[in-house]
């Protein structure tokens, strides 16, 4: 869609706060219909096209992408207290092929060609700010669109996993009170080294948090966001830990690696950063198949959400065939905001070709 050339985008040269403050307004654009009947964690929705929390910094960004054909929109991860974003750079294009998880270093490049290293650190506005914004946003969303809110607990010096779980739970409760249709707990952020960024790898912690969040939100649909997993025993252990308390799992957050500048020096003080974009497509699809097998074998009623490298109708169809109930598109939407409209226009053709 040529109109995408005039559509607003996240400006990677500007700070997170600048992009937060300069969110675009919703636009009027012809959005193609999406064939079929769709649901997300038991709620009716216009299509399986969603967005994860990363690009949706506030309500204006949510409504902007809703106007461009996305139907399940995840409000940027929020906390029980304000947290600043990491300093620039927050998005660094990298040169890479498909990632498997065994990579240790990737070179950065000047021009974005499909994949980038992401370094935000799960920032958050103050609770009174995001709670009011969520309420306004939910009231402004159109029919057939859902608002999911991503929450994360905040680690304090000396705090226990029980205290962290309670912090997750209060944020989840506030999100529901503000109007969230769905709550997502972020169990994976490769840019955060503390336990709140790696809970999906700690089965006892994941079980504790999921149980507390479920208690706090009642019957509201509940999704956990996880990172890259490749071993069936880990997948089965996670499903055993959280399966009784959740309604959905959002797949591959990213594949983490060290990033080098053009001179071969380590960026981000040598700390790992998540690589997002086309380079994660194969890893995400493989993970979807593994989780779909695990969910089916255990007889769990859990919706799986495909995330990672999705940018075309063919990618969406591949994820749905692999077991996804919905998909979330971030990098492609940030670079090419009209991608949902193009997927909608092309979905029926791609579906028919694969039959």
Calculate the alpha carbon distances from 75 to 52, 100, 183 in Å. 8, 29, 10
Give the pLDDT score at 38.
97
Structure-token pair, residue 197: 């960024």
Give the pLDDT score at 2.
47
Structure-token pair, residue 343: 């997927």
Give the pLDDT score at 158.
76
Q: How would residue 190 be classed by pLDDT, with cut points 50, 70 and 90?
A: low
Contact 174, 81 (CB under 8 A): no
Structure-token pair, residue 201: 């790898």
Q: How is the chain split into domains, by residue range? A: 39-354
Rounded mean pLDDT, 42-63 = 97
Q: Which of 134, 154, 165, 131 is nearest to 84 (CA)?
A: 154
Q: Which of 253, 163, 171 is nearest to 208 (CA)?
A: 163
Q: What is the mean pLDDT of the chain?
A: 94
pLDDT above 50 for 3: no
Give per-residue burial for 79-103: e unless 16+ CB within 10 Å, then b: bbeebebbeebbbbbbebeebebee
Give the pLDDT score at 4.
45
Structure-token pair, residue 110: 């000047």
> Which CATH superfamily, name and number, covers 39-354?
Aldolase class I (3.20.20.70)
Other beta carbons less than 10 A from residue 272's beta carbon: 18
Rounded mean pLDDT, 102-114 = 95
- The structure's pTM equals 0.95
């Amino acid at each position: 869609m040529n109109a995408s050339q005039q559509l607003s985008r996240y400006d990677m040269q500007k700070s997170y706060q600048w992009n937060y403050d300069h969110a675009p307004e919703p636009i009027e654009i012809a959005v193609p219909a999406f064939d079929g009947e769709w649901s997300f964690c038991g709620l009716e929705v216009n299509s399986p096209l969603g967005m994860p929390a990363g690009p949706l910094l506030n309500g204006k960004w949510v409504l902007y992408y809703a106007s461009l054909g996305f139907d399940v929109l995840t409000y940027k991860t929020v906390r029980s207290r304000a947290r600043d974003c990491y300093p620039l750079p927050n998005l660094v294009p990298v040169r890479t092929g498909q990632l498997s998880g065994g990579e240790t270093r990737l070179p950065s490049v000047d021009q974005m060609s499909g994949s980038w290293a992401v370094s935000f650190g799960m920032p958050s506005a103050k609770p009174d700010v995001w709670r009011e914004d969520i309420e306004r946003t939910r009231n402004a969303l159109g029919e057939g669109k859902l608002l999911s809110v991503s929450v994360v607990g905040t680690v304090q010096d000396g705090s226990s996993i029980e205290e962290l779980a309670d912090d997750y739970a209060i944020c989840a409760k506030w999100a529901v009170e503000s109007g969230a249709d769905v709550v997502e707990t972020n169990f994976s952020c490769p840019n955060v080294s503390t336990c709140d960024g790696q809970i999906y790898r700690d089965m006892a912690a994941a079980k504790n948090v999921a149980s507390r969040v479920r208690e706090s939100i009642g019957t509201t649909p509940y999704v956990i966001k996880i990172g890259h997993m490749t071993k069936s025993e880990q997948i089965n252990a996670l499903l055993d830990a959280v399966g009784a308390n959740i309604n959905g799992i959002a797949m591959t957050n990213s594949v983490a690696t060290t990033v080098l500048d053009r001179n071969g020096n380590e960026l981000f003080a040598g700390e790992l950063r998540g690589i997002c974009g086309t380079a994660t497509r194969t890893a995400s699809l493989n993970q979807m198949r593994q989780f779909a097998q695990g969910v089916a074998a255990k007889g769990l009623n859990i919706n799986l959400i495909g995330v990672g490298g999705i940018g075309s109708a063919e990618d969406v169809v591949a994820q749905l065939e692999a077991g996804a109930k919905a998909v979330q598109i971030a990098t492609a939407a940030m670079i090419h905001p009209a991608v949902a409209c193009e997927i909608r226009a092309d979905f029926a053709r791609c579906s028919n070709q694969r039959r």
